[in-house]
Amino acid sequence: MVSADLLKGYDFFKGFSEEQVKKLADIATEESYKAGFQLWKKGDPAKSLYLLEGGKVVLSMDTYMGTSRPPMQVTVDIVTKGGAMGWSAVIEPYVYTLGARCIDDSKAIAFDGAKLRELLNKDIKLGYAFMHATARVIATRLTHTEIILVGERGLSVLSQD
Protein backbone atom coordinates (compact mmCIF):
# COMPACT_ATOMS: atom_id res chain seq x y z
CA MET A 1 0.00 0.00 0.00
CA VAL A 2 0.98 3.65 -0.44
CA SER A 3 -0.13 6.76 1.44
CA ALA A 4 -3.34 8.45 0.32
CA ASP A 5 -1.44 11.77 0.31
CA LEU A 6 0.82 10.42 -2.43
CA LEU A 7 -2.18 9.80 -4.71
CA LYS A 8 -3.95 13.10 -4.03
CA GLY A 9 -1.47 15.09 -6.11
CA TYR A 10 -2.38 13.29 -9.33
CA ASP A 11 -4.79 14.80 -11.85
CA PHE A 12 -6.24 11.34 -12.33
CA PHE A 13 -7.85 11.56 -8.86
CA LYS A 14 -9.27 15.06 -9.28
CA GLY A 15 -12.77 15.03 -7.80
CA PHE A 16 -12.29 11.78 -5.83
CA SER A 17 -13.28 11.81 -2.14
CA GLU A 18 -10.75 11.22 0.69
CA GLU A 19 -12.31 7.83 1.35
CA GLN A 20 -12.10 6.78 -2.30
CA VAL A 21 -8.43 7.76 -2.56
CA LYS A 22 -7.71 5.85 0.68
CA LYS A 23 -9.27 2.66 -0.74
CA LEU A 24 -7.15 2.95 -3.87
CA ALA A 25 -4.00 3.69 -1.83
CA ASP A 26 -4.58 0.43 0.07
CA ILE A 27 -4.19 -1.67 -3.10
CA ALA A 28 -1.37 0.38 -4.68
CA THR A 29 2.36 -0.40 -4.63
CA GLU A 30 5.42 1.61 -5.64
CA GLU A 31 7.80 0.15 -8.21
CA SER A 32 11.11 1.32 -9.68
CA TYR A 33 12.61 0.43 -13.04
CA LYS A 34 15.92 1.03 -14.77
CA ALA A 35 16.12 2.86 -18.11
CA GLY A 36 15.55 0.32 -20.87
CA PHE A 37 13.19 -1.87 -18.83
CA GLN A 38 10.26 -3.19 -20.88
CA LEU A 39 7.16 -2.85 -18.70
CA TRP A 40 4.96 -4.76 -21.11
CA LYS A 41 4.55 -5.68 -24.75
CA LYS A 42 1.51 -5.34 -26.98
CA GLY A 43 -0.76 -8.35 -26.45
CA ASP A 44 0.42 -9.08 -22.89
CA PRO A 45 -2.33 -9.58 -20.29
CA ALA A 46 -2.90 -6.13 -18.73
CA LYS A 47 -1.82 -6.88 -15.19
CA SER A 48 -1.66 -3.32 -13.81
CA LEU A 49 -2.56 0.31 -14.34
CA TYR A 50 0.22 2.77 -13.48
CA LEU A 51 0.73 6.39 -12.51
CA LEU A 52 4.23 7.62 -13.25
CA GLU A 53 5.95 9.23 -10.27
CA GLY A 54 9.14 10.05 -12.15
CA GLY A 55 11.11 9.19 -15.27
CA LYS A 56 9.80 8.63 -18.79
CA VAL A 57 8.04 5.75 -20.51
CA VAL A 58 7.54 5.44 -24.26
CA LEU A 59 4.44 3.74 -25.63
CA SER A 60 5.21 2.17 -28.96
CA MET A 61 3.88 -0.14 -31.62
CA ASP A 62 5.68 -2.50 -33.97
CA THR A 63 5.44 -1.62 -37.63
CA TYR A 64 6.54 -3.91 -40.43
CA MET A 65 8.29 -2.44 -43.47
CA GLY A 66 8.34 -5.79 -45.27
CA THR A 67 8.11 -9.43 -44.36
CA SER A 68 11.88 -9.97 -44.51
CA ARG A 69 12.74 -7.13 -42.15
CA PRO A 70 12.40 -7.13 -38.36
CA PRO A 71 9.63 -4.89 -36.98
CA MET A 72 10.45 -1.28 -36.20
CA GLN A 73 9.26 0.25 -32.94
CA VAL A 74 7.46 3.52 -33.49
CA THR A 75 6.73 5.80 -30.55
CA VAL A 76 3.05 6.71 -30.26
CA ASP A 77 3.18 8.64 -27.00
CA ILE A 78 5.53 9.45 -24.11
CA VAL A 79 4.30 9.28 -20.52
CA THR A 80 5.99 11.64 -18.07
CA LYS A 81 5.64 12.43 -14.36
CA GLY A 82 2.01 12.47 -13.29
CA GLY A 83 0.76 10.57 -16.36
CA ALA A 84 -1.35 7.42 -16.31
CA MET A 85 -0.71 4.34 -18.45
CA GLY A 86 -1.99 0.79 -18.75
CA TRP A 87 -5.70 1.64 -19.03
CA SER A 88 -6.23 -1.81 -20.59
CA ALA A 89 -6.13 -3.18 -17.02
CA VAL A 90 -9.71 -1.93 -16.54
CA ILE A 91 -11.10 -2.24 -20.08
CA GLU A 92 -12.04 -5.59 -21.60
CA PRO A 93 -10.39 -7.73 -22.93
CA TYR A 94 -7.67 -6.62 -20.44
CA VAL A 95 -4.83 -6.89 -22.96
CA TYR A 96 -2.24 -4.14 -23.54
CA THR A 97 -2.65 -2.42 -26.91
CA LEU A 98 0.89 -0.94 -27.16
CA GLY A 99 4.32 -1.75 -25.75
CA ALA A 100 5.72 0.29 -22.83
CA ARG A 101 9.43 0.81 -22.17
CA CYS A 102 11.27 3.08 -19.72
CA ILE A 103 13.69 5.47 -21.42
CA ASP A 104 14.84 6.96 -18.09
CA ASP A 105 15.11 5.38 -14.66
CA SER A 106 11.46 5.50 -13.63
CA LYS A 107 9.23 5.12 -10.61
CA ALA A 108 5.53 4.32 -10.71
CA ILE A 109 2.53 3.66 -8.53
CA ALA A 110 1.03 0.36 -9.68
CA PHE A 111 -2.57 -0.79 -9.22
CA ASP A 112 -2.99 -4.53 -9.67
CA GLY A 113 -5.64 -5.02 -12.36
CA ALA A 114 -7.53 -7.86 -10.67
CA LYS A 115 -7.67 -6.09 -7.28
CA LEU A 116 -8.64 -2.85 -8.99
CA ARG A 117 -11.51 -4.41 -10.95
CA GLU A 118 -12.77 -6.11 -7.81
CA LEU A 119 -12.71 -2.83 -5.88
CA LEU A 120 -14.40 -0.87 -8.68
CA ASN A 121 -17.21 -3.41 -8.94
CA LYS A 122 -17.71 -3.50 -5.17
CA ASP A 123 -17.71 0.28 -4.63
CA ILE A 124 -19.82 1.50 -7.53
CA LYS A 125 -19.38 5.24 -6.88
CA LEU A 126 -15.64 4.75 -6.84
CA GLY A 127 -15.98 2.55 -9.93
CA TYR A 128 -17.84 5.30 -11.78
CA ALA A 129 -15.28 7.98 -10.80
CA PHE A 130 -12.39 5.71 -11.79
CA MET A 131 -13.88 4.75 -15.17
CA HIS A 132 -14.62 8.41 -15.88
CA ALA A 133 -10.95 9.25 -15.16
CA THR A 134 -9.90 6.31 -17.35
CA ALA A 135 -12.09 7.56 -20.22
CA ARG A 136 -10.25 10.91 -19.90
CA VAL A 137 -6.87 9.15 -20.16
CA ILE A 138 -7.92 7.19 -23.27
CA ALA A 139 -9.38 10.34 -24.88
CA THR A 140 -6.12 12.23 -24.26
CA ARG A 141 -4.11 9.39 -25.80
CA LEU A 142 -6.48 9.41 -28.79
CA THR A 143 -5.92 13.14 -29.31
CA HIS A 144 -2.11 12.69 -29.15
CA THR A 145 -2.22 9.76 -31.58
CA GLU A 146 -4.40 11.62 -34.07
CA ILE A 147 -2.11 14.66 -33.98
CA ILE A 148 0.90 12.42 -34.72
CA LEU A 149 -1.02 10.56 -37.41
CA VAL A 150 -2.09 13.73 -39.20
CA GLY A 151 1.53 14.98 -38.98
CA GLU A 152 2.79 11.70 -40.46
CA ARG A 153 0.33 11.95 -43.34
CA GLY A 154 1.41 15.52 -43.98
CA LEU A 155 5.03 14.39 -44.18
CA SER A 156 4.18 11.49 -46.45
CA VAL A 157 2.27 13.83 -48.81
CA LEU A 158 5.22 16.27 -48.82
CA SER A 159 7.68 13.48 -49.58
CA GLN A 160 5.59 12.44 -52.60
CA ASP A 161 5.68 15.95 -54.10
Partner 1 sequence: MFIQEVELFQGIPSHVIGEISELATQESYPVGYVLFREGDVADFLYTLEEGEINLIIQAQKDFSFPVIKAGSVFGWSSLVEPNRYTATAECVKDSKVLKIDAERLMRVFQRHPAESLIIMKRLAGVIATRLLKSYKEFAASRK
CB of 150 to partner 1, least distance (A): 5
Burial 110-120 (b: 16+ CB within 10 A, else e): bbbbeebbebb
| Residue 61 binding partner 1, by CB under 8 A | yes
Question: Which residue in 58, 112, 48 sits closest to 80, CA to CA?
Answer: 58
User: Is there a contact between 21 and 33 (Cβ–Cβ < 8 Å)?
Assistant: no
Side-chain-side CA neighbours of 37 within 13 Å: the count stands at 13
Q: Measured from the CB atom, is 5 or 159 closer to partner 1? A: 159
| Residue 149 binding partner 1, by CB under 8 A | yes
CB of 75 to partner 1, least distance (A): 11
Positions in the binding site for partner 1 (CB under 8 A): 61, 63-65, 72, 74, 76, 87, 90-92, 97-98, 120-121, 124-125, 127-128, 131-132, 134-136, 138-139, 141-143, 145-150, 152-153, 156
